[in-house]
Amino acid sequence: MIRVLFVCLGNICRSPMAEAIFRNYVREAQLEGKIKVDSAGTGSWHVGKPPHHGTRDILEREQISYEGMKARQVHKEDWNSFDYIIAMDAQNMDDLKDFFQQEEGPVVKRLMEFVVDPAELDVPDPYYTGNFNYTYELVSNGCKNLLTYIKEHESI
């Protein structure tokens, strides 16, 4: 089983959006028995809360389920539990490096690193920008490319 963890700051906007979109792509590719998906935040402010209403609105519009999703914070055990830890921006990457402080482990990259010539390397936080549509476009593109990468590199 390949395990993928998406990470952002509070786990209510970008990372749950990525979790839901990626899970949908995995389902469409009939890889549910081979890939498990989760999301977490580097901060604890929103633990236990559902995705932000802006994220829910976009996912509902696109008919993508976010059922049962609740924010959680990154845990030390995540380092050994996931094969891929995918951050939304450079600050998330720095926070993850500070938190885990380990060299060997899962693939840890920003989502947009899987996109050829991305419009941006960081997925802007719609909690601050208010632009959930733009975030959705970037995250969808990144997730599509991440799934292609995983299928090729994990031979599934």
- State the catalytic residues: 8, 14, 125
Instruction: Report which DSSP code applies to 112.
Output: G
Asked if residues 15 and 128 have their Cβ atoms less than 8 Å apart, the reply is no
- For helices 132-153 and 53-61, the axis angle rounded to 10 degrees is 70
Which tokens is 135 given?
């975030």
Q: Nearest-5° angle of CA 114, CA 79, CA 81? A: 95
Asked if residues 62 and 25 have their Cβ atoms less than 8 Å apart, the reply is no
Buried b (16+ CB within 10 A) or exposed e, 23-46: bbbbeeeebeeebbbbbbbbeeeb
